[in-house]
């Protein structure tokens, strides 16, 4: 009886570990797709990776946590791309944190209307639940003059 219990415990443990690894792998895939859609400026596909009402913390929005719909996400990034038509993000590193979070370190690059190029280091913490991004907490120094070059 003790051996059966031990075997069952081991199987449950292995199943749980495998399930956690699958969740993390799926979450990394979602975030990789997010950046692919962003770099293609396909903001509809990018917004489809979010829950209908996602929480955002972002220096470009009002302070605190803001709820954004998919339509608001599309509008925000469409406007951003109109200001910076060559805008792209380059992932430096993905850091899974538990089953529901992916931290992404990346560099955002583009050229402004004044022809000044910028390179901005950014860090975003994504929360993913049931295969959709529910939180997008982004951090960057939006006062750093050294990010732009002529």
* Residue span of the structural domain in which 67 resides: 2-149
% of the chain with per-residue pLDDT over 90? 73
> Which string of b and e fits 52-89 if b means at least 16 CB within 10 Å?
eebbbbbeeeeeeeeebebebbbebbeebeeebeebeb
Are 140 and 59 in contact by the 8 Å Cβ rule? The answer is yes
Based on the structure, what is the number of domains in the chain? 1
How does DSSP assign 47-101, residue by residue? Answer: HTTEEEEEEEE-TTS-SS-EEEEHHHHHHHHHHHHHH-TT-EEEEEEEEEETTTE
CATH number at residue 123: 3.10.450.50
The pLDDT tens digits of the residues spanning 78-108 come to: 999 999 999 999 999 999 999 999 999 999 9
Q: How far apart are CA 119 and CA 87, in angstroms?
A: 10
* Predicted local distance difference test score (pLDDT) of residue 14: 42
Are 84 and 99 in contact by the 8 Å Cβ rule? The answer is no
pTM for this prediction:
0.81
% of the chain with per-residue pLDDT over 70? 80
**Per-residue pLDDT at 123 exceeds 70:** yes
């Amino acid at each position: 009886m003790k051996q059966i219990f031990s075997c069952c415990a081991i199987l449950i443990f292995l199943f749980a570990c495998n399930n956690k690894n699958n969740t993390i792998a799926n979450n990394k895939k979602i975030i990789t797709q997010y950046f692919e859609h962003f770099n293609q400026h396909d903001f509809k596909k990018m917004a489809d990776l979010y829950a209908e009402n996602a929480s955002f913390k972002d220096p470009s929005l009002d302070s605190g946590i803001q709820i954004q719909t998919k339509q608001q996400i599309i509008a925000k990034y469409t406007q951003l791309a109109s200001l910076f038509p060559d805008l792209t993000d380059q992932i430096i590193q993905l850091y899974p944190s538990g089953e529901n979070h992916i931290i992404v370190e990346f560099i955002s690059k583009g050229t402004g209307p004044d022809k000044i190029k910028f390179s901005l280091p950014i860090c975003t913490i994504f929360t993913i639940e049931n295969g959709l991004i529910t939180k997008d907490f982004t951090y960057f120094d939006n006062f750093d003059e050294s990010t732009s070059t002529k």
